Structure 1
Amino acid sequence: MRFAYIAISAALLASAYLLGGMNRTSDSWTPGNAMTGTGVQQAAASFDRMTTGSTGVAPKTDRTADEVEIAQVTVGQPAPVTPPTRPKVDESALRYFARKGDTARLQAEISRLRALYPDWTPPEDPMAIPVNADRELERMWQLYSESRYAEVRKAIADRELAESGWTPPADLLDRLSVAEARAQLTNASDLNQYDTVVRIGAETPSLLTCSEVDVLWRVAEAFARTERPGRARDAYLYVLNNCNVPSERLATVQKASTLLPATMVEDLLARERPGPDGTMEFDAIRDDLARNLVAEGDNDATITVPPQYLGRVERLVESGGSASDALLLGWYYLRRNDMAAAETWFRKARGIEDSASASQGLALTLIDRKEPKEAEEVMYRWRDGSKDAQQTYFAATANLLAISPPLPLTEEVLARIASETISGRDAQTAQQFGWYARELKQHKTAADWFTTALSWKPDDEPSAYGLALSRNELNDETGVAEIQRQWADRSERIARLGETEPQEEKATREKEAAAVARPAVRTAPAAVETAPRAATSRTTQGAVRQRGCSFTVDPRSLSPAVALARGWCLMDMNRPLEAARAFEVALAAPGVKEREDAAYGQSLAYLRAGLTSKAAVSAARAPQGTERIVELQSAILRDRAVASFNAGRNRDTILILDQLSQLGTEQQDLMVLKGYAYLNLNRFIDARRIFQALAEAGNREGAKGLVEVRRAQFKGNQN
């Protein structure tokens, strides 16, 4: 193991495209000028020799002529045997680290000296090493031990100028170069300069040892981020095959699980060791890995989680697991429109612990199977929990009131729905109250609700049409004329109101009045609950299902105008991928406004389906107004921030949230996310600043975050 860093360096050199022709889109090796004749296979073989106990190639050391005895061979006489001169080992750094109590650096120095000098034995008491009589050199070592590398360089340069013939110890220069390389590599990693990380790692093989596990992690991440997962796996495998600190081994698999495909993570899990009590060291990781994979599936509907991981999370729930595990499964199946399975898991989650997220998920499944009455009952308690919860509640109320013939609702239920509608200024539910009242022949009440809906959403054509119908029933000719004047150039059916038409057609128009206008689309914010891992993006739709798109039609057979209307109808029915295809046809419309609406709708459809990248492309396919641009950019950035956080990319999360804040749309739930991202990076000051601001604003997650910061700092001090 003492020469292991040579082997991993070979793998790095073989895979670094900038050093020899690596194809960045694969793990294949193309011979280059720097390493002609060397390939990934040879590098991998070096890994195999290293990890199976072979010493491999001995490390290269600088040896002067007087340190190597050259035998003079005379014919007929045996060559004289002269024992090799033992090189002098500079142990002064050991004394400094021991004196400062820096056990981590002391151990790293011992590992380094063992690698350089295989026959060297560390002193039992580093404090017994004599103090260097050279006080100036002592000061240089002290500066080095304090990580003041620039000052060490200056002290060396000053002394070389002042003392002719003085040269710094080679050991000090070597240690200084390695320390500077470590600092450069760490800085490059923090700035996401992954190619630089790989280059420095390849140039500084002495960093790639078990005493520098953080460096190994950073190099592995750099490979993963530059589309070389095989090389990343090799770096993680090096740690598991050679390093013995349990916490570092556990952290290695945890980090790998956020960057590598599940099959590669299984390769790492296969290297686990049994513990003293007989349990395997990665058992807990397997549970967390399953949770993470299902959580990724919650955010991206295109991800298919292998059955064994779904089954593992299911068993966790069935064996008395937490509500959060059941929620993961509920949202996973909801994303895939498996509403029956989703309902099962949301009900289990509520049975363990009722929450806004569990109730919201259950309500959406109930709306899907046309049980809005129960959905309203489920969500009423949580209606004020968040904007997302409120939108789900109004989705339930709008669908409940839209049922025809109307359900008999108690005065209590009608009163609370009306109260919440007015409080939340929900135009969709207000409109449905109007149609509900018309079904009961309460035309004055209907007119009042349609008027209210228009006051909140002036461009709501169905409400305008309903108001015109109601005023006509009330014989308010002046009121009808006023509505027709306002909408004559925007709605043919309002303009034609009063003309003779078959009663059946008239009834159909009234019943499906809301189908023509574009529905109000609600994009829900990310919900950060009791733990940062629970952060997921939820997009809910408060519009009512209509019958106009319940049948299957190839949108390519439709005109752009009809395809546009069908797209919005499919969004009502929560069929976003079908809606996206309809909007694609609508993008061929001749009118600028129609193309703008089609691009906007397709972007929203992809957002609801969890396809953030496609949503971003769609948003740019036609010019949008400032308000829509901000809305779409905010939604896209929100989804990316949450996905980045769930994948463990804390630095990326912070950068994305910084971009989002420039749009003026960063909200408290995202501030919580940012606080935890800082906390995961051990940036305690930044994390405390955010959580403190949230706590002062009365946010409970802010107070919890402050506790987590103090706990992490205390744990760090203990270590």
Structure 2
Amino acid sequence: MRYFAAQGDTARLQAEIARLRSLYPNWTPPADPLAVPTGRDEQLDQMWKFYADGKYAEVRKAIADRQASDPRWQPPQDLLDRVNVAETRTRLITASELKQYETVIDLASQTPSLRNCSDVDVLWRLGEAFIQTKRQDRGEAVYRYILTNCSDPEQRLATVQKASTLLPPEALAPLLSLERGDEFASVRDDLARNRVAQANKKPGSAVPPDDLARLKAIAERDGKATDALLLGWYALRHDDMNEAMKWFSAARGLEDSSSASQGLALAMISLDKAGEAENVMYKWRNDSEEASATYLATTANLMAEDPPPLLSEEVLRRIAETVIEKKYVPTAQQFGWYARALNQPQTALRWFQTALGWKPDDEPSAYGLAVTRQQLNDRAGVAEIQRLWAGRSARIANLGLVTPPMASARVVRPGGQLVQQQPQQSVVPSDSVRPPETTATPRQVRLVRADKAGSASRVSCSSYADPAELPPAAALARGWCLMDLKRPLEAVRAFEIALRSDNIRVKQDAAYGESLAYLRLGLTSKAAVAAAKAPQRPERSAELQIAILADRANAAFNSERYREALVYLDQRSTLQPETSDLLVLRAYALMKLGRPDDALRIFELVAETGNRAASRGLQEARIALGLDRN
């Protein structure tokens, strides 16, 4: 204390006084510590300076040197004690950094003078050591000691922040109750954010109402787009679409982003506002694979509205251009029905042909092409479609050859239902935006196979039936039947009807089926939303998470967000070992991040199985490392 006073180091002087008070509660510090005489022993002063600078080895050498020259001299016991404690503290911190938690506990137990408010860092490390060695109650006791006895506001706040990362909510609550005033408000805010964020990652998860209310108050108070986004996704995953629209709109107002726009568009689609959703997402349609999928989903929903919406030439043109660029079958098919509704059969013909060129097994497009050829009195064309679809579609097989006039008051819409004819308008792109004649097939999406155990008995779905007219159990069976026929877009509607059931098993199967259908369509976000519509069994929930995380990893990689791709792969690997294709994806992500050494090891492992992509990657990694210059 005298040394610090002489040096004018008031901060360390006060820390020393606090330490002495904790060790000797009845001790009273000098009225004016700065006035305490220091003496004239320059060698001893140098020893104290070494100690103050953390040079403990130099302190011991100086003591040894002086005793060698003056055997009668003895160092102050306080100096020896302080050096011993400081060296113990250094060993304790090193053991903590190396995660040698038993050593931390042993050193702390041997040195009581370290366990006080003057060295809270040691107490933090001791608390963590207890928790990491399965002695949570002892760790809680350490944090409770700090919050009961220590007064420094920053240390108290840091204590609960550290505890919040190591203790479960039920153990953290008693510590938060030791709050003085509202000093832990920021921790409570972060806990509310984290709980909502974690719930958003797990379908069917909910947070306590108090946490949700707190986050809403934070979002309104601080005006941060990130908080509004958390609330928007939470509302969307819990099917509260109006609340979701509110928060996604708020987020876009604060910071227009792809995530906010995707969420807002999905909420709008659910509220039958596909036109607004298309306008929201158009700007972000190429931001990522997920954003593109969301935009395309809005276009399919918009074009499928009944009665057909009156869309401007500009909107129709930009939808058509994007659909052609992405080869998106659902909207191409809906363009065909839209053109028929506006009495433009030749344009409808081209759209149905284009959809079939991209996806030859798309039954609704084949049916649309058949009824349009029938309308144009193309008997040979209808017969050819019936021949191609024999045994696969009863409604195509049973299609009569009655030729409706072009100006008929009613036309066929998707699924075969009849709607009132709209006034003829030349708004569907035809010659100016002609769909290409192509046989390319759409991107294949990996899909978890549906667990159909316990679902309703199978019914034929080759002929048309409106799911809305079926009881939920029958709608569920039709949904699975449509999935077997690779018609996921129609299956989604059937599963939606089945979700109205009061039977929890039917609701679970319907939510599961709808999520799988959206995965097959490449709509990962909607798949996650669908999965949350009813609680799932752990194995199903894990299957969906595995598929969703794999799709998100691929989407992030394709959008050059390589670190994000690795995060998704890491999350998936906690649920299931990585397949060869995902290991190759991980290795290429590491290559892109400038880590060819790490990538090389993965490529070598997978290449041994005969994987060609891994073999190519292995060669690229070797070249990058200068190991192969050929």
- 1:493 equivalent in structure 2: 393
User: What's the counterpart of residue 437 of structure 1?
Assistant: 339
Distance 2:355 2:59 in 1: 73
Partner letter of residue 119 of structure 2? Answer: E
The one-character-per-residue Cα deviations of 1:240-263 (angstroms, maximum 9, x if unpaired) are 212222222223334444555555
Q: CA deviation at 1:335?
A: 1.4
- In structure 2, the CA distance between the partners of 1:319 and 1:420, relative to structure 1 (3 Å rule), is same
Q: How does 1:563-602 map to 2 (within 5 A)?
A: 565=484, 581=509
Residues 341 and 412, structure 2, Cα contact 8 Å, conserved in 1: no
Equivalent runs, 1:260-271 vs 2, <5 Å: 260=167, 262=169, 264-271=171-178
Q: Is the 8 A contact 1:583 1:602 kept in 2?
A: no
Cα distance change of structure 1 residues 133 and 196 upon mapping to structure 2, 3 Å threshold: closer
Q: Distance in 1 between matches of 2:159 and 2:570?
A: 19
Residue identity in the other structure for 1:435? W
What CA deviation, in whole Å up to 9, does each residue of 1:45-91 have, x standing for no partner?
A: xxxxxxxxxxxxxxxxxxxxxxxxxxxxxxxxxxxxxxxxxxxxxx8
Aligned counterparts, 1:527-546, within 5 A: none
Aligned-residue offset at 1:397:
1.0
Alpha-carbon spacing, 1:484–1:376, altered in 2? closer, same or farther (3 Å)? same
TM-score (norm 2): 0.58
User: Residues 171 and 283 from structure 1, CA distance in 2 versus in 1: closer, same or farther, beyond 3 angstroms?
Assistant: closer
Counterpart residue identity of residue 90, structure 2: A
Of 578, 586, 590, 1:662 maps to: 586
Seen in structure 2, the aligned counterparts of structure 1 residues 323 and 185 have a Cα distance that, compared at 3 Å, is closer
Deviations 1:361-405 (A, max 9, x none): 332222112221222233334445554443322221111112244
**What does residue 143 of structure 2 align with?**
236
Aligned counterparts, 1:24-35, within 5 A: none
Secondary structure at the counterpart of residue 366 of structure 1: helix
Q: Which residue of 2 aligns with 1:395?
A: 297
Paired residue for 2:199? 297
Does the CA-based 8 Å contact 1:468-1:479 persist in structure 2?
yes
Measured in 2, the distance between the counterparts of 1:603 and 1:578 equals 23
**Taking structure 1 as the reference length, what is the TM-score of the superposition?**
0.52
Q: Where does residue 249 of structure 1 map in the other structure?
A: 156
User: CA separation of 1:571/1:99 partners in 2, compared to 1, >3 Å: closer, same or farther?
Assistant: farther
Structure 2: stretches of 5+ with no match in the other structure: 403-410, 418-440, 448-464, 500-504, 572-581, 594-630
- What's the counterpart of residue 361 of structure 1? 263
Determine the C-alpha separation between the residues in 1 that align with 2:379 and 2:36: 100
CA distance in 2, matches of 1:553, 1:125: 88
1:297 CA drift (Å): 3.5
Tell me which moved more, 603-612 or 404-413: 603-612
Aligned residue identity for 2:209: P
Q: CA deviation at 1:614?
A: 5.3
**CA 205–520 in structure 1, closer or farther in 2 if over 3 Å, else same:** farther
**TM-aligned CA distance change 1:661 to 1:172, over 3 Å:** farther
78, 96, 111: which one aligns with 1:185: 96
CA contact (8 A) 1:603 1:615 kept: no
| Shift in Å, 1:411 | 1.8
> Structure 2 vs 1, CA of residues 312 and 509 (structure 1 numbering), >3 Å: closer, same or farther?
closer
Structure 2 equivalent of residue 145 of structure 1: 54
Partner of 2:209: 307
Distance of aligned partners of 1:603 and 1:339 in 2 relative to their CA distance in 1, 3 Å threshold: closer
Mapped to 1, the partners of 2:474 and 2:208 lie a distance apart of: 33
CA RMSD of aligned residues (A): 6.2
Amino acid paired to 1:185:
S
Match of 2:280 among 357, 372, 378: 378
- Against the structure 1 CA distance between its residues 551 and 661, is the aligned structure 2 distance closer, same or farther, given a 3 Å change threshold? same
Whether contact under 8 Å (1:185, 1:201) holds in the other structure is: no
- Structure 1 letter corresponding to 2:184: F
- The CA distance in 2 between the partners of 1:615 and 1:108, in whole Å, is 57
Q: Give the partner amino acid of 2:93.
A: R
- Post-superposition Cα deviations, 1:687-714, rounded to whole Å, max 9, x if no partner, equal xxxxxxxxxxxxxxxxxxxxxxxxxxxx
Supply the distance in 2 between the matched residues of 1:146 and 1:661 (Cα, whole angstroms).
Answer: 50
Residue 332 of structure 1: CA displacement?
1.9
1:689 maps to: none
Aligned residue for 2:183, secondary structure, equals: coil
Q: Distance in 1 between matches of 2:569 and 2:527?
A: 18
Name the counterpart of 1:175. 86
Corresponding residue number in structure 2 for 1:528: none
In 1, Cα distance between equivalents of 2:106 and 2:192: 34
Could you say what secondary structure the match of 1:329 adopts?
Answer: helix
Is it true that 1:420 corresponds to 2:339 in the alignment? no
The SS at the match of 2:280 is: helix
Q: Distance in 1 between matches of 2:199 and 2:206?
A: 7
CA distance in structure 2 between the aligned counterparts of 1:358 and 1:629, rounded to whole angstroms: 17
Q: Is the 8 A contact 1:584 1:602 kept in 2?
A: no
Q: Which residue of the other structure, out of 408, 413, 424, is the alignment partner of 2:310?
A: 408
Deviation at 1:176, TM superposition (A): 1.5
Q: What are the Cα deviations for residues 282-311 of structure 1, in whole angstroms up to 9, with x where unaligned?
A: 345444444444344333454433333333
Query: One-letter code of the match for 1:172?
Result: V
Q: Any residues of structure 2 matched to 1:57-136 within 5 Å, and which?
A: 124=34, 128=38, 130-132=41-43
Q: Residue 265 of structure 2 contacts residue 277 of structure 2 at CA under 8 Å; is this kept in 1?
A: yes
Structure 1 distance, partners of 2:114, 2:329, is 63
User: Structure 1 pair 209/581, CA: closer, same or farther in 2 (3 Å)?
Assistant: farther
**Counterpart for residue 562 of structure 1:** 481
Q: CA deviation at 1:333?
A: 1.6
In structure 2, distance between residues paired with 1:194 and 1:466: 70
Shift of 1:502: 11
Does structure 1 conserve the Cα–Cα contact (< 8 Å) formed by 2:232 and 2:263?
yes
Shift of 1:281: 2.9
Deviation for aligned residue 1:414: 0.9
Letter paired with 1:581: D
AA aligned to 2:54 is S
User: What secondary structure, in the 3-state scheme, does the structure 2 residue paired with 1:175 have?
Assistant: helix
Aligned length: 500
SS at match of 1:271: coil
The answer to whether residue 244 in structure 2 is matched with residue 342 in structure 1 is yes
- What amino acid is aligned across from residue 309 of structure 2 in structure 1? L
Q: Which amino acid aligns with 1:436?
A: Y
Matching of residue 213 in structure 1 with residue 120 in structure 2: yes
Q: How far does residue 128 in structure 1 lie from its aligned partner after superposition?
A: 4.3
Structure 2 Cα separation of the partners of residues 146 and 547 of structure 1: 83
Q: Kindly indicate whether residue 618 of structure 2 is the aligned counterpart of residue 618 of structure 1.
A: no
Give the direction of change, closer, same or farther, for the CA distance of 1:642–1:620 in structure 2 (3 Å limit). Answer: closer
Structure 2 vs 1, CA of residues 290 and 382 (structure 1 numbering), >3 Å: closer, same or farther? same
Give the distance between the partners of 2:332 and 2:282, measured in 1 at CA: 17
Matched position secondary structure for 1:304? coil
Distance 2:130 2:347 in 1: 66
Secondary structure at the aligned position of 1:145 is classed as coil
Show CA shifts across 1:434-486 (max 9, x none).
Answer: 3333444544433443454466667756556655666676649589859976x
2:323 alignment partner, SS class: helix
Aligned residue for 1:492, secondary structure, equals coil
* In structure 2, distance between residues paired with 1:497 and 1:289: 57
**Residue pair 2:478, 2:491 contacting (<8 A) in 1 also:** no
Match of 2:230 in 1: 328
- Cα deviation, 1:651-684, whole Å, max 9, x if unaligned, reads xxxxxxx999835458999xxxxxxxxxxxxxxx
CA deviation string 1:311-346 (max 9, x = no partner)? 334445556844544443322221111223323444
- The separation in 1 between residues aligned to 2:133 and 2:368, in whole angstroms, is 57
Amino acid at match of 1:145: G
